[in-house]
């Protein structure tokens, strides 16, 4: 495995497990209470739009800013559709925390009790209350990293697209013990956008503030926007497919088929998950090897060869002179697509242009942004990561139970005058 692979493993934020509070008794601590106050928000139906920063390459991740506490303080968080819980590195005091762009979150004393429904939903069936007064949590991510802490309630400063500013009370994790994966990003925490009750969108929806819809638009030029609610896009322009009824844990359209250059590849029945916490796209070993074969076969006889010295990603190719953009390699590669059939009469197709699976490295080589998921423990499913969702508005509608997408200019967020910052 090349060293370049290690750089991307820590970006895979798909949650593998939420452990019961009794699993790490030696790491849990009694809560240290800070004096604080909170207030509830108003019930207004609208949407929330957050600007995104960062890029797939070279920065390696996108992030958003949220404002928590009274008075509100800014925190940079990784928007992750692969996990539910929003948590911040927390001065509770902190046992193990990583470098962060802001001072650690200083919590109030509004603890979520162990018997609270949100606590129960986080731990599912295996839930033991060692301390009835607080809800302990531990989340583990696919890259081996984890966060341990307690759930608390606090207020979040939110700008609605109606122009109204509110401060709804939300439940977040106060993470006082983090174990980073192979590498970590210098962020304050994770913004959980998953389907569960602890997800930030589900919480705002339960308060009557927004529809239970979340979406994102990653720009290939960097930045973009994130949105909660459904009044920021035209549904008539959206191609949708039903969410899987068999795999409900994550945002999944079910099983898909890989199309290369407009032709079927024979790679069918691939369980697919959309995961904004992964910068790159991952295929299981068999599908990955087949795609790599097709790509290298297409390059046969063309003036490109493997750049083994470029460790940006596992496979890079060089030309006679350095490439400056994907346009320079457009005659050497073909577009990809994933075709889904989830019970509707017509099949839907998620188009992946060259920019959606290739990148130009700092050395002027073209690199494959699709990685071997089996090598990082993803034997059973395949991940559509940020690189393949660039320049599209991707919409997860938890009310209609659909996943949709449409081409978009992600450099131009909707209603920029009402964006939360």
What residues are annotated to the active site? 80, 275
Peptide linkage before 58 cis (omega within 30 of 0): yes
Phi (first) and psi of residue 58, to 5 degrees: -95, -10
Cα distance between residue 225 and residue 233, in whole Å? 12
C-beta separation of 57 from 221 below 8 A: no
- Which tokens in the block code for residue 38? 């909170």
Report the C-alpha gap between 392 and 281 in whole angstroms. Answer: 15
Say if CB 418 and CB 49 are below 8 A apart: yes
The dihedral sign for the CA sequence 370, 272, 235, 161: negative
Tell me if 18 sits within 8 A of 119, measured CB to CB.
no
Closest-CA residue to 95 (of 190, 46, 24, 36): 24
């Amino acid at each position: 495995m090349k060293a370049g692979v290690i750089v991307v493993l820590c970006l895979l934020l798909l949650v593998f497990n939420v452990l019961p509070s009794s699993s790490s008794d030696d790491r849990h601590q009694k809560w240290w209470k800070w004096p604080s106050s909170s207030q509830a928000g108003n019930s207004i139906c609208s949407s929330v739009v957050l600007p995104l920063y960062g890029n797939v390459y070279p920065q390696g991740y996108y992030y958003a800013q949220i404002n928590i506490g009274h008075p509100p303080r800014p925190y940079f968080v990784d928007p992750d559709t692969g996990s539910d819980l929003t948590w911040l590195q927390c001065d509770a005091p902190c046992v193990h925390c990583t470098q962060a762009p802001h001072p650690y979150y200083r919590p109030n004393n509004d603890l979520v009790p162990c018997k609270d429904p949100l606590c129960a939903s986080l731990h599912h069936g295996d839930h033991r209350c060692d301390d009835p007064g607080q809800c302990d949590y531990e989340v583990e991510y696919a890259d081996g990293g984890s966060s341990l802490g307690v759930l608390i309630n606090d207020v979040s400063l939110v700008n609605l697209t109606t122009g109204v500013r509110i401060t709804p009370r939300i439940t977040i994790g106060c993470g006082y013990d983090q174990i980073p994966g192979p590498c970590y990003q210098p962020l304050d925490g994770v913004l959980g956008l998953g389907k569960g009750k602890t997800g930030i969108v589900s919480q705002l929806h339960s308060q009557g503030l927004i529809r239970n819809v979340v979406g994102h638009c990653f720009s290939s030029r960097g930045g973009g926007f994130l949105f909660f609610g459904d009044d920021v896009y035209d549904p008539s322009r959206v191609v949708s497919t039903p969410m899987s009824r068999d795999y409900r844990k994550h945002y999944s359209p079910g099983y898909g088929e890989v199309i290369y250059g407009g032709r079927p590849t024979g790679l069918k029945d691939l369980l697919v998950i959309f995961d904004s916490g992964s910068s790159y796209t991952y295929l299981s070993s068999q599908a990955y090897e087949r795609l790599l074969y097709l790509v290298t076969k297409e390059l046969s006889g063309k003036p490109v060869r493997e750049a083994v010295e470029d460790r940006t990603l596992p496979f890079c190719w060089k030309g006679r002179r350095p490439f400056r953009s994907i346009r320079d390699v457009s005659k050497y590669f073909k577009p990809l697509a994933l075709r889904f059939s989830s019970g509707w009469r017509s099949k839907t197709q998620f188009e992946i242009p060259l920019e959606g699976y290739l990148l130009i490295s700092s050395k002027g080589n073209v690199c494959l942004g699709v990685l071997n998921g089996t090598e990082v423990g993803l034997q059973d499913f395949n991940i559509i990561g940020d690189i393949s969702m660039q320049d599209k508005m991707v919409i997860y509608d938890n009310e209609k139970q659909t996943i949709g997408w449409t081409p978009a200019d992600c450099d131009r967020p909707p209603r920029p005058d009402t964006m939360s910052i």
